[in-house]
Chains A and B, each alone.
Chain A
């Protein structure tokens, strides 16, 4: 499953900047953190001031993205997703549970939290980055035999 991908510093930095613009827009207008696991949580387990309709609108924007992308550029979104169904189910459960239990994911802790110099988010980001890198190392270089 390990295929080589091209190093794209400019496109990646530009895409990152767009993520930043979205995060700033959201704090400026609604006073909210652009954390995706938090948005889903607001949607499926609405809290008193959770404003689930706002989270829903944001998530619809996310889901609309590949369609808008293809309409504008004429090309499909390039991605390679594993077809290992049990792995997808287990990984999905772990990602959902872990992000919600730990109070955030790559966006909430990694981008928004680090941007406001939150100590909790710094710890969370170091832990999930290290755990993810270790998981890839074990699955590709120990269990997978370098595959």
Chain B
């Protein structure tokens, strides 16, 4: 049951990326290019997503636990630390270079563009390396 829900949630998320234009790196780069061919569409993606998520989360988090698990798995800490800032800056650099963040990149795999087929394995390596660095720090 929980696997079916995850599959459906992944599909709904992917369709949201495709319909919103977020799965198109050209559109993402134009959103980030305020001084050039600025396309403000992605501000509407964020606004639509946050409006629904913030409203839904409020109701869901009133419950004592989720439907199919014993507890909510939410990040509990709130310190603004170095990894947060450095990691986000590095992520933004890569995002601005190519126009893919993790969701759209994975969703685009089946379209088999050459750039995507290079980007995704490199991204997986990056995630694995961050995991190793995080382990050696703690």
By a beta-carbon cutoff of 8 Å, the part of chain A in contact with chain B is 1-34, 36-37, 40-41, 44-45, 49, 53-55, 57-69, 76-85, 87-103, 105-107, 109-112, 114-116, 118-120, 123-125, 127-137, 139-141, 146
Number of residue pairs A-B, CB distance < 8 angstroms:
509
Query: Given that A24-B57, A68-B11, A88-B118 are known contacts, is A12 also in contact with B25, CB under 8 Å in the complex?
Result: no
Query: How many B residues touch A, CB cutoff 8 Å?
Result: 115
Q: Label chain B's interface by main secondary structure.
A: helix
Q: What CA separation (Å) do A20 and B13 show in the bound complex? A: 8
Q: Is B127 a contact partner of A16 (Cβ separation < 8 A)?
A: no
Question: Do A95 and B102 touch across chains, with their CB atoms under 8 A apart?
Answer: yes
Judge whether B87 and A110 touch: CB under 8 Å.
no
Closest CB in chain A relative to B126 CB, distance in Å: 2
The answer to whether residues A93 and B89 also contact, given A18-B16, A26-B6, A27-B56 and a CB cut-off of 8 A, is: no
Return the contact of B24 from the options A34, A78, A112 (Cβ within 8 A). A78
Contact between A16 and B33, CB atoms less than 8 A apart: no
Find A132's partner among B6, B37, B73, B96 (CB 8 Å cutoff).
Answer: B96
- Within the complex, the shortest CB–CB distance from A114 to chain B, in Å, comes to 6
Q: Which residues of B have CB within 8 Å of A34?
A: 9, 13
Interface CB pairs A-B, < 8 A, 24: A8-B21, A8-B44, A15-B48, A16-B46, A17-B48, A19-B52, A22-B9, A30-B2, A31-B71, A40-B106, A57-B3, A62-B103, A82-B98, A88-B122, A91-B98, A93-B94, A93-B122, A96-B124, A96-B128, A97-B126, A99-B127, A131-B95, A131-B96, A146-B36
